[in-house]
Homo-oligomer: A and B are copies of this chain.
Amino acid sequence: MNKLHDFFRTDKFATGIGIELLDVADGHATAILRTTPDHHNAAGVVQGGAIFTLADYAFAAASNSRGRLATGIHVSISYMKAVKSGVLTARAEEVRCGKTTGTYLVHVTNEAGDEIALFQGTAFRLDQEVPPQ
């Protein structure tokens, strides 16, 4: 645990739907979601928005781990396999951190290691320290 970790635990939306941040440091982060029927869509599988939020949370943590506040400006996600239950893991890695923008890749997998979703995010880096002092 560290200050950045504590800061991200104040994300009410992500934590409210059951997402947990496992680690965050130096441009990467890992988060998990223990899915329940409350995460299902009308078709009875985990909703795309729940999977997106998991990936986006890992992306936010990773892109904010360089000491400056970063905000997502354009992201893309591919869904590869529907999921009904189990734990989903999102692993975010930094592809490049530039002066004003950063590019991150997030793989979402299930417990069997199958690729569930692939997320690519561009963050804009603001002139504010994070976590705020």
Contact = CB atoms under 8 A, between A and B. Distances in A.
How often does this chain occur in the complex, in copies?
4
A58 to B, nearest CB: 11
A68 to B, nearest CB: 12
Interface string A1-43: 0000001111111101100000000000000000001111111
A95 B118 contact: yes
A37 B49 contact: no
Contacts of A9: 42
A89 interface: no
A48 B41 contact: no
Interface string A78-94: 11111000000000000
Given A76-B75, A115-B95, A10 B42 contact: yes
Nearest to A122: B74
Nearest to A117: B103
A62 interface: no
B52 A80 contact: no
Contact of A74 (B17, B42, B76, B105): B76
Interface in A118-132: 118, 120, 122, 124
Given A11-B41, A48-B53, A78-B95, 16 more contacts: A7-B42, A11-B40, A12-B37, A13-B47, A47-B53, A71-B82, A74-B74, A74-B76, A74-B78, A76-B77, A78-B103, A81-B98, A95-B115, A96-B114, A100-B100, A100-B124
